[in-house]
Structures are given as C-alpha cells and as structure tokens.
Amino acid sequence: MAEITIRPLAATDRDAWTPLWHGYLTFYKATLPPEIDAITFGRLTGGEEPMGGFLAFEGDKPLGMVNWVLHRTTWSEKPICYLQDLFTVPESRGTGVGRKLIEAVNQMARAKNCYRVYWQTHESNLQAQELYNKVADKSGFMVYRQPLG
C-alpha cells in the first residue's frame, strides 16, 4: 500500500465523502434520505457547527472517513469529542487507515483542549474492536436509546 494521507474534510470533498458515508450506512444496514446526506455534509463542512471530519487517501483514492462532534460535558469545563462515524473501505482494513483517522481526531481534540475523545461501535463489529482495544480503554458502559418520532 502506498503512503496514506489524512486531511480535514472540506466543502469540496462531497464526491469523496459520499461513497464512504454510504459505505458506513450500508455496513450498519441503515439508509437515510438524500436530504439528510446533504444536511450532514453541510454541518460537517460549513463551519457553523461544532462538527467536522477527516478523509484518508492513498494518492487520489479515498480509503476512509471519520466524522466528529464536540459538545459540553458535566464532567469537565473542557469540551468533549464524540468520534461519531468511522469507516474504511474493506480492502484497507487492517492496514492502519482506521488508526490514522482516530489519531487525526485525537490530535484535533487536543488542539481544541478537549477533555477526552470517545466513541461506540456495535458489539458485532469485531474487526473494529481489535483496533479499538489497542488504542483506547473500553468504558464498560452500555448505550440505551429511545426514538422520539
């Protein structure tokens, strides 16, 4: 594999980001209407929201993406970073792309003086957990949710 480069997601990256975003949704057996894709991309790149992302490339080929959200926490005066979506194309898994994307989020969060970075994954995503167990501590918390409409 050639050199992997990571760079911040920009408003001009819609064509690179969208197939990765759809790959992420497909992986989790989810679908969203196109207008949600547009809203999400706009939030990530518009500079108005405490959100952003990074893309991984091998040359011009997009290999992965990560989206993050900053928010307040009751545990610190500092913000906290939620690494919300991480996806790499299947052929790049196990090559270091995911780790580099996580490192990019960590570096950004440090620069923004965040308290910590956290994320979640599905219990069936064993390949991702192999990486996550190497780079972070498993919190032991379970996620509950209630749909509101």
In one letter, which amino acid is 67?
Answer: N
Per residue in 90-106, pLDDT (tens digit) is 999 999 999 999 999 99
- Tell me what pLDDT residue 62 has: 98
Residue 139, SS3 per DSSP:
coil
Query: What is the Cα–Cα distance from 148 to 10, expressed in whole angstroms?
Result: 32
Task: Read off the pLDDT band of 12 (50, 70, 90).
Answer: very high
8 A C-beta contact, residue 87 and residue 27: yes
Q: Is 80 exceeded by the pLDDT of residue 1?
A: no
pLDDT at 149: 85
Closest CA to 90 of 26, 3, 136, 40: 26
Q: For the whole model, what pTM was predicted?
A: 0.95
Q: Please name which of 23, 91, 25 lies closest in space to residue 58, comparing C-alpha atoms.
A: 91
